[in-house]
Chains A and B, each alone.
Chain A
Amino acid sequence: MKKKVTDALLIVLMLILAVSFLYPVFLILFNSLKEETSISTNTVFTLPTAETFAGLKNYWDAVTSKGFFVSFGYSLVITVTSVAAICLFCAMCAWFITRVQNKWTSMIYYLCVFSMVVPFQMVMYTLSKTADTLKLNTPWNIWVIYLGFGAGLAVFMFTGFMKSIPLEVEEAAMIDGCNPIQTFFRIVFPMLRPTMVSVGILEAMWVWNDYLLPTLVLDIKKYRTIPMLIQYFKGSYGKVEMGPMMASIMLTIIPIVIVYLAGQKHIIKGVAAGAVKG
């Protein structure tokens, strides 16, 4: 009986908390539906009325004149290429350094761990210059930079998992005549799938939302990813247009929420598994 009452109280408390967790997003949603002229700091909590309701005008503006879809495309290209490269190449590298043990491979491992801790500001200036010199400053090849900077976490997580795979399966495959390439792609790669999902999700969350790296590496006049676009609205580039900005924030959040709801089981499992490996 006592447990039932506590449980009921806890459910009510959790409901209140859940609503307050969603409120900030809801606030942006209804403000994005207001007329540009009636958005102001002191009326931010009032719902749109018949006079202030703008329909989807701000959204139309964000999409047509502010280039939202172009930015969305760039963000998508960068995230997909980077995550694919990280998952494939880092898995290969991790397999090699777990199975071949010498001073080089352990050096690679410790360098990777070290790179995870180093703050981005340490390399931001020199990295952006290196990227310019090597022409890695477009959305189509910035993945090389992301592979380099994201390798630490990925190699670390893959090696953590690799240590628990029995060596016998791979040895059997090699004795049966597989070369290392076949062994990796036919035997090891399929076994890595759960870890691959963890790594992929963590790296995708990072790349998709990353602001500073693309700002410094890409040419801001030509290419703007979504976080850069949001900052561009607010930045000192002219008058702040709150309506289209809030519409863009909503347009950014909606696909994330859809992806999240569709794959939340994997995402939450991936995060939990990733943390334990870490």
Chain B
Amino acid sequence: MEKVLKKYWPLFVVPTMAAFTIGFIVPFLQGLYLSFCQFTTIKKAKWVGFDNYIRVFTDDPEPLTDSLWFTVAFAAVSIVLINLIGFLFALVLTRGLKGTNLFRTVFFMPNLIGGVVLGYIWQILINGLLSVVGEPLLALNTTAGYWGLIILMCWQQVGYMMIIYIAGLQSVPESLIEAAKIDGATSLQTLLKIKIPMIMQSVTICVFLTLTNSFKLFDQNMALTNGEPMNTTTMLALNIYKTFYNRTGAQWKGLGQAKAVIFCILVVLISFGQLRATRGKEVQQ
């Protein structure tokens, strides 16, 4: 079969790969090349070596490191909260409570609303709250922007992680839990010694998804705070976007592209690092 199928590659592989080349491979390689150039358009690019990369750390009005720390602070808290709340919801909704389906439906719903729309919904809500308590609005309030982003992301993603954790919990064999009960395990012991080890695969996936989503976050960041005040709530993706599109002049696009390459390397390293770290903790069933 393999031999016959092989001859059909133009039909099976070429459509996807042609689009993949246009949509990913070519832009990726060009992007890599342009990070070593000064350019205003792709055709007018002048090779400058590592200049852009040096400027990222020495001469950048929107320092990437500031955004990196903000992103890390955001990611650390939001990953823990989203996974913890999602897991607790999953535990409660696998007890056979009345209304389980309704709760599941409601908690998952925010996922379907797009990031830009979510950002504006929460901007209206949070600014309303801030004005009631007499605090400065989001445009002037870094702390509110930080917690606002975290609350928004929890609201959006808790339901998604909950669904994955529910699927995980439902796949834990009933016999294992029964056996533990007969041996006299308390429900806390069953949770810690049986359920959690058995769903490590779900944990890997959920941590991976929340981690990459947090690091790549753009729409919600742009819509909720747009980096205000004074770029103190600008995350990595928005930082790069601003260098690219909010500035005019020959020196900025190269700088932005170099920052994008650094961002890309960072995300790739973190993602694969996380996968390796938690995959090791999974139990083979």
Kindly supply a per-residue 1/0 record for chain A positions 253-278, scoring 1 wherever the CB is within 8 Å of any chain B CB and 0 otherwise: 10011001100100110011101101
B147 close to chain A: CB less than 8 A: no
A50 close to chain B: CB less than 8 A: no
Structural contact, B163 and A89, CB atoms closer than 8 A:
no
B121 close to chain A: CB less than 8 A: yes
A130 close to chain B: CB less than 8 A: yes
Q: Per a CB cutoff under 8 Å, which of B23, B113, B131 touches A209? A: B113
Given contacts A28-B121, A41-B131, A181-B8, contact A145 B23 (CB under 8 A): yes
A45 to chain B, nearest CB (A): 6
A171 close to chain B: CB less than 8 A: yes
Interface residue tally of chain B, by bracket? 35 or more
Structural contact, B99 and A148, CB atoms closer than 8 A:
no
Interface residues of B in 256-272 (CB under 8 A from A): 256-257, 260-261, 263-264, 267-268, 271-272
Given contacts A44-B127, A93-B17, contact A147 B23 (CB under 8 A): yes
Chain A minimum-CB-distance residue to B237:
A121
Q: Per a CB cutoff under 8 Å, which of B24, B115, B209 touches A211? A: B115
B236 to chain A, nearest CB (A): 8
Q: Per a CB cutoff under 8 Å, which of A126, A179, A256, A261 touches B113? A: A256
A56 close to chain B: CB less than 8 A: no
Structural contact, A230 and B19, CB atoms closer than 8 A:
no
Q: What's the A-B contact tally at a CB cutoff of 8 Å?
A: 280
Collect the chain B residues with CB atoms within 8 Å of residue A100's CB: 2, 5-6, 9
Q: Per a CB cutoff under 8 Å, which of A17, A127, A147, A249 touches B121? A: A249
Assembly CA distance A89 to B16 (angstroms) = 6
A60 close to chain B: CB less than 8 A: no
Kindly supply a per-residue 1/0 record for chain A positions 43-83, scoring 1 wherever the CB is within 8 Å of any chain B CB and 0 otherwise: 01100000000000000000000000000000000000000
Chain B minimum-CB-distance residue to A264:
B105
Chain A minimum-CB-distance residue to B128:
A44
Q: Per a CB cutoff under 8 Å, which of B5, B106, B108 touches A22? A: B106
Structural contact, B268 and A118, CB atoms closer than 8 A:
yes
B22 close to chain A: CB less than 8 A: yes
A1 close to chain B: CB less than 8 A: no
Kindly supply a per-residue 1/0 record for chain B positions 120-134, scoring 1 wherever the CB is within 8 Å of any chain A CB and 0 otherwise: 111011011001100
Structural contact, B127 and A122, CB atoms closer than 8 A:
no
Structural contact, B16 and A90, CB atoms closer than 8 A:
yes
Interface residues of A in 101-142 (CB under 8 A from B): 101, 108, 111-112, 114-115, 117-127, 129-130, 134, 136
B78 to chain A, nearest CB (A): 17
Assembly CA distance A92 to B8 (angstroms) = 11
Given contacts A28-B121, A41-B131, contact A126 B267 (CB under 8 A): no
Structural contact, B114 and A209, CB atoms closer than 8 A:
yes
The chain B residues found within 8 Å of chain A, CB to CB, are: 1-2, 4-6, 8-9, 11-13, 15-17, 19-28, 30-31, 34, 41-42, 92-93, 95, 97-99, 102-117, 120-122, 124-125, 127-128, 131-132, 137, 155, 160, 163-164, 166-167, 201-202, 205-206, 208-209, 212, 215-216, 218-219, 222-223, 236-237, 240-241, 244, 253, 256-257, 260-261, 263-264, 267-268, 271-272
20 further A-B contacts with Cβ under 8 Å, apart from A14-B97, A24-B121, are A14-B103, A18-B106, A42-B131, A92-B13, A92-B15, A99-B5, A108-B17, A118-B267, A121-B240, A126-B31, A148-B24, A151-B19, A152-B24, A212-B219, A227-B114, A230-B116, A252-B113, A253-B113, A272-B163, A272-B167
The chain A residues found within 8 Å of chain B, CB to CB, are: 7, 10-11, 14-15, 17-18, 21-22, 24-25, 27-28, 31, 41-42, 44-45, 85, 89-90, 92-93, 95-97, 99-101, 108, 111-112, 114-115, 117-127, 129-130, 134, 136, 144-149, 151-152, 155, 167, 170-171, 174, 179-181, 184, 205, 208-212, 226-227, 230-231, 234, 242, 245-246, 249, 252-253, 256-257, 260-261, 264, 267-268, 271-273, 275-276, 278
